[in-house]
Structure 1
């Protein structure tokens, strides 16, 4: 079916349900895997950071390849949808195994986690890249892409809250390594539900048939790299993903070691995602009124301010820390809505200019960058822990030195805030606007 300007609500919701899978996988390993390695398997922080980083780095290489493969897929169900089902089911199975390492020597346990996480990362690449490529082919409208992303980000925010709040609660309720195993099974089920929802929900989505550009993958990657607006947007988003990865990795440590309050991790996640659930439509409306770029800048500044306020975690009342995380959540909602709505704009401009649809390659490069940022975040936080002298254990019951508590606080607050503000230097160069993206005014100069 040809792409249309307006999509029915059922298609918006169906497409958005894929964020149940991406939200669960994007949240839980970033939140739970580093503590699992350092405080349950007794692996040193620097090695744990390496284990978390390597599979994500593999995705950086794999994502553009997955995009090119999906661009060239011929299937009666469409080029993208078959990958949602195949890769989504594989991701759910691999995720169930990730936290299910049997009792073995520490080195073998570390190897188990590394191999299982590599399997998760591979499956995720072939789910996420086709999934993110779909909006550019589902509608030709600049504003409709924003509405489509509003549903996606709202469902993503709900999933982050559900997964981020319940994963630590399940682990703590069951206790020990069995708690991690049960938590992994529950999250795998959530991933499977999101996969099936996206596959079924997009069965009636209008999708323009891809017309992949000629040339090798290297040739197409070079063409994508020459799209200046896409390059500026991607650089900003990757740096912000790095900042988000730092904060996500630090939640459990901040809750248990700095705040020292039972259930604080769950409360922090509710504070973080609750505002996103409420304010995602508001950010969408702001973007329609003032433009996506201005909305993105405003939400980034709010996120950075919240992160800076969290530096008081060691001495301020706990309520102030929760308030800081609420502020982070307000900004985070916009920092998801706007770049995700701006990405298909860049892909659509390229398709109109060249006559070739490289949406898969664009989104492959995009998700590779996002994956790299989210991988570097926990790795950077683990490095901060190591510098601060964090003590690993097999039961999580170790009194940390003051230097480690300071490292946790700075890694959760100052480091992310600096990264967010720095990212705006690249965003300021982005120049796509609504009239030119829709093709109703002058051509995009930078394309």
Structure 2
């Protein structure tokens, strides 16, 4: 592949930024469904063992290890009047919606057949989401070469992604999974999940198509690359050379830790809300607003902090601060310093902690994604190729560890502590809750510290990026290479 062009250093228009970010609503919806409700649906509603459900979802994640890089490579090598990314983005909407409906509306099957259904539909959904999200994320380094602008547009992606996910929480807790005479615990209402799946499938399809259409006018401005004839062996050698980039490897490892922690928190959330904190339905309806407030804070904080210091140092600080806030409520519980479960006083104490902890976590994710965009130029300087699709395939695979490794770990923990099926609020033994809590703190804290140490090892920051970009631009001008206007 040759004939690369460096993207312009520019600030995107409000329309382009909003359209680009809006597409993440689809991923937010998928993430909330997979991470927050899939385990409890197939465990407590369908009746499968939690550890088996977690294992099946992890096996679906293994398929992503092959699917995501393939989509990244194919996207990098796609050519046509709609460019490299948009054909994939447009074509993903319908398969995502269909796969999503199948996942949440399984037929009445035996145990083995139900597990096969879960595996097959999970693979379809995750692969279809990859067909949109990998090319979409790959647009970040193509739209602008500005170091801080990449953080800004990434913050829009995360803001819209969280908005999509929290909209599903609102629909779940406030509309479809509310308590009723037939289901005092609305989270056990199978019909409610069916209705929720229809609403979320529509939201995802609309978000994807709107984002593709809203960024369509940028196609002509994106960097152009020419393809050279390659054997399969040469293609794999190029892929290996690309992914060996030190910055990429560090971000992948840090991301696995950070996103797995997020996945553990998501998968465990309905268990902690119901059986540890004993939240009432009004609290569950309030929670999405609190979490959205945290995401909105991150939307402001991450670009501001990233602009004043280096992204790696800021990401490390956010991760370490977040682990303190995320585990604080459990330490307070062990110390006997919390109001009674289910009380209004407990809710008023926990919600501010949730808000700040969410802001810190999301800020670290925003900076990590922005750093991945910077890796693209580092790789181009070393290899002469722009491989946005490959890098963001890796980044997206790491993000999907949220609903793979996290769910598997929580499933194993629930079985390990003998968490009862069909559990009623206030009836779970205290010893079970204590063991679950201690395991959560140990795993979450260990992964967070590893992620922070890895962020600290990221090999370059603002000065290195800008110097490298200046060299690449000068070299392109000297060679008469094509430039994005």
Give the alignment's TM-score, normalised by structure 1. Answer: 0.92
Partner of residue 455 from structure 2, selected from 427, 436, 446: 427
Report what 1:131 is aligned to: 136
2:468 & 2:99 partners in 1: Cα distance?
A: 46
2:274 & 2:164 partners in 1: Cα distance?
A: 23
Task: Give 3-state SS (helix, strand or coil) of 1:372's partner.
Answer: helix
C-alpha contact (below 8 Å) 1:310/1:321 kept by paired residues: yes
Report what 1:113 is aligned to: 118
Moved over 6 A (4+): 395-398, 441-444
Whether 1:31 aligns to 2:36 is yes
C-alpha contact (below 8 Å) 1:220/1:361 kept by paired residues: no
Report what 2:223 is aligned to: 208
Report what 1:339 is aligned to: 368
Which stretch of structure 1 is more off in the superposition, 44-53 or 32-41? Answer: 44-53
Whether 1:221 aligns to 2:226 is no
Partner of residue 289 from structure 1, selected from 297, 308, 315: 308
TM-superposed deviation, 1:313: 4.9
Whether 1:191 aligns to 2:204 is yes
Structure 2 CA distance for partners of 1:231 and 1:20, relative to 1, 3 Å: same
Task: Give 3-state SS (helix, strand or coil) of 2:352's partner.
Answer: helix
C-alpha contact (below 8 Å) 1:310/1:325 kept by paired residues: no
Which stretch of structure 1 is more off in the superposition, 325-334 or 273-282? Answer: 273-282
C-alpha contact (below 8 Å) 2:54/2:404 kept by paired residues: no
Question: Which 5+ residue runs of structure 2 have no aligned equivalent?
Answer: 181-185, 340-345, 473-485
Report what 1:400 is aligned to: 428
Structure 2 CA distance for partners of 1:216 and 1:242, relative to 1, 3 Å: farther
Structure 2 CA distance for partners of 1:85 and 1:149, relative to 1, 3 Å: same
C-alpha contact (below 8 Å) 2:159/2:295 kept by paired residues: yes
C-alpha contact (below 8 Å) 1:24/1:163 kept by paired residues: yes
1:399 & 1:78 partners in 2: Cα distance?
A: 57
C-alpha contact (below 8 Å) 1:384/1:407 kept by paired residues: no
2:208 & 2:28 partners in 1: Cα distance?
A: 11
C-alpha contact (below 8 Å) 2:90/2:208 kept by paired residues: yes
Which stretch of structure 1 is more off in the superposition, 28-37 or 56-65? Answer: 56-65
Task: Give 3-state SS (helix, strand or coil) of 1:208's partner.
Answer: coil
Which stretch of structure 1 is more off in the superposition, 305-314 or 293-302? Answer: 305-314
C-alpha contact (below 8 Å) 1:67/1:360 kept by paired residues: yes
Question: Which 5+ residue runs of structure 1 have no aligned equivalent?
Answer: none
TM-superposed deviation, 1:439: 3.4
1:166 & 1:12 partners in 2: Cα distance?
A: 27
2:85 & 2:99 partners in 1: Cα distance?
A: 21
Q: In the TM superposition, what whole-angstrom CA distance separates every residue of 1:202-254 from its partner, at most 9, and x where no partner exists?
A: 11123112456866453233213321122112211111011110001011111
Structure 2 CA distance for partners of 1:277 and 1:413, relative to 1, 3 Å: farther
C-alpha contact (below 8 Å) 2:77/2:227 kept by paired residues: yes
Task: Give 3-state SS (helix, strand or coil) of 1:75's partner.
Answer: coil
2:445 & 2:174 partners in 1: Cα distance?
A: 28
Report what 1:375 is aligned to: 404
Report what 2:127 is aligned to: 122
Q: In the TM superposition, what whole-angstrom CA distance separates every residue of 1:30-78 from its partner, at most 9, and x where no partner exists?
A: 1000000111011111111112222222112210011001111112111
RMSD, aligned CA:
2.4
Which stretch of structure 1 is more off in the superposition, 116-125 or 430-439? Answer: 430-439
C-alpha contact (below 8 Å) 2:6/2:145 kept by paired residues: no
Which stretch of structure 1 is more off in the superposition, 312-321 or 75-84? Answer: 312-321
Partner of residue 8 from structure 2, selected from 4, 8, 17: 4
C-alpha contact (below 8 Å) 1:142/1:437 kept by paired residues: yes
Whether 1:59 aligns to 2:64 is yes
Report what 2:55 is aligned to: 50
TM-superposed deviation, 1:360: 1.0
Structure 2 CA distance for partners of 1:38 and 1:313, relative to 1, 3 Å: farther
TM-superposed deviation, 1:425: 1.7
